[in-house]
Copies of this chain bind each other. A is one copy, B any other.
Amino acid sequence: MRIEDEFSEIAKNLKASEIRELLKLTQQPDIISFAGGLPNPESFPVDTIKKIIDSLLETEGARILQYGSTEGVNSFRDALSEMMRNKYGVSVTKDNILVTAGSQQALYLLAKIFINPGDKVIIEAPTYIGILTAFQSYKPEYKEIEMDDDGMRTDLLEETLRSMRKEGDKPKMIYTIPTFQNPAGVTMSLDRRKHLIELSEDYDVLIVEDDPYGELRYSGEPLPLLKSLDRNHNVIYLGTFSKILSPGFRMAHLIAHEEIIHKAVLAKQGIDLCTNTVGQFVAREYISRGYLENHIPKIIELYKRKRDLMLDMLEDHFPDGVKWTKPDGGMFLWVTLPDGMDAEKMFHRAIQHKVAYVIGSAFFPRRNHKNTMRLNFTYPTDEQIKVGVVRLSKVIREELP
C-alpha cells in the first residue's frame, strides 16, 4: 500500500515546518539555546505537588482517577471561577469555563467552532506560532497589526476595522497576548486595552485574550485583564497552569460566554472526550489551598534575576544598531537586527558557535521580517545566559554589514 495515497487533503497540506527542523539543531547538548519556550524546572513546586497528590489519592482516589466530564471537573471549575472573580474582578461561573489540554487545544477548538476558510483573523505582528498551527487546517486569512513598546497599535487596528467595514467585511476575531507578549515581550498599555475593548464593541468583533504569562511580572504595575474590562462577552479568555504550576499536566482553561462554551464542549467531545482528571484535581488544590499565591513570588524571583542578567549582558555586548525589547515579565524578548541582516541565514553560523535562538520570521504568517529573533531567558542557567550572549554577540558582529 502506498500510504501517501491514502492521506486526506488536510493531511497532504500538513508539512513539517522548517522552524521545527531548525529547532532540532538546537538540541545538541553543547549548544546554549535561547530558542526554547520552556519554563525552568527550578520553578516547579515539586514538594507541593507531591503533598497534593498524596492527599488526593488518600481521600479521593476513586474520583481523581476516573473519567471526567468534557466540560471539566466541576469543583475545579468552581475554584477557577472564584479565582477569576477575586483575583481579576472577572465575574464568571463554572458554566463559562471549559478545561482544555493546554491553551493549544483551546486555540484549536476556537478555530474549529469559528473559522470558515477565508475568514479574517486579526493578529499581532509578530504573533504566537501556536495559533498558526492550531488554525492552519481551517484556513483563515490573517490581518497583521504592528506593535510597539505599548503593545498592539490600536490606532492601526481601528484603521483596519474601518476599511474592512467599508468593504462590507469584518474579522472573525482579534487574537492578542496583551501581557508580556510571546514573542515580542511587550505589554499593552491601559489606554490601548480600553481602546481595544471599545473597538470590539463598535465593530462587534470577538477578542481572544491569551494570557499564559500574566502572573509573571518582574517590574511595573499590574494591568487589568481585557476580560475584566469586557461588558459584552466579547472577550474569550485563555489561561493556563503551564507556567505557574507545571506544563506536565497540560492544564488550561477557556473562559467565555456560555454559548461558546457549549459549542466548544461539543467539539472537544470528538477530539479527546475530556482533559485528564488528575491534573484538574491537582490544579484545584493548588489554587484553593493557597499554594499558588505562595509560589508565584518564588518563580518571579528566579525569572526576574534571569531577565535582568540577560538585559545587562545584551547592553554590555550587543553591537550598536541592534535593538531589543525590555519586557516587564514573561519569558521572552525580541531582538531586531539592523536592516538587511538575515537571522535565518545567521542561524547556521550561530549553531557553529554553539548558541541558538528562534528566527523571528517564524512568528509572521508570511515569514517576513528576516532581521528579527526571539530569545528566551527563563530556561537557561545564569552561566549559560552569560556565555550564550557573548557567543551570540560574536555571531552578530561577524554578520554585520
Contacts and interface: CB of A to CB of B under 8 A. Distances in A.
B9 A116 contact: yes
A263 B7 contact: yes
A247 interface: yes
A259 B7 CA distance: 10
A114 B11 contact: yes
Contact of A1 (B50, B54, B112, B232): B232
Contact of A271 (B66, B259, B271): B271
A347 B249 CA distance: 39
Main secondary structure of the interface of A (DSSP, over half): helix
Given A65-B44, A269-B133, A270-B133, A263 B9 contact: no
Nearest to A204: B1
Contact of A272 (B9, B15, B104): B104
Nearest to A36: B67
Interface in A192-229: 204, 206
Contact of A66 (B38, B58, B130): B38
Contacts of A138: 8
Contacts of A233: 1, 3
Contact of A44 (B62, B250, B266): B62
A50 B44 contact: no
A327 interface: no
A267 interface: yes
A297 interface: no
A177 B55 CA distance: 38
B65 A270 contact: no
Nearest to A200: B1
Contact of A249 (B206, B263, B276): B276
Contacts of A137: 112, 270
Interface in A250-288: 250, 257, 259-260, 262-263, 266-267, 269-279
Interface residues of A, number: 81
Contacts of A10: 112-113, 267
Interface in A1-53: 1, 3-4, 6-11, 14-16, 38-39, 41-42, 44, 46, 49-50, 53
A19 B242 CA distance: 35
Given A1-B204, A232-B1, A113 B65 contact: no
Interface string A101-130: 110110010001111100100000000001
A66 B247 contact: yes
A114 B8 contact: yes
Contact of A105 (B11, B249, B271): B271
A14 B263 CA distance: 7
Contact of A14 (B16, B66, B266): B266
Nearest to A173: B6
A134 interface: yes
A258 to B, nearest CB: 9
Contacts of A376: none
A190 interface: no
Interface of A: 1, 3-4, 6-11, 14-16, 38-39, 41-42, 44, 46, 49-50, 53-54, 57-58, 61-68, 100-102, 104-105, 108, 112-116, 119, 130, 133-138, 172, 204, 206, 232-234, 242, 246-250, 257, 259-260, 262-263, 266-267, 269-279
Closest 7 CB pairs of A and B: A41-B62, A65-B246, A65-B248, A11-B113, A46-B61, A14-B266, A250-B276
10 contacts: A1-B234, A6-B206, A14-B266, A46-B61, A67-B248, A102-B274, A104-B272, A250-B275, A272-B272, A276-B279
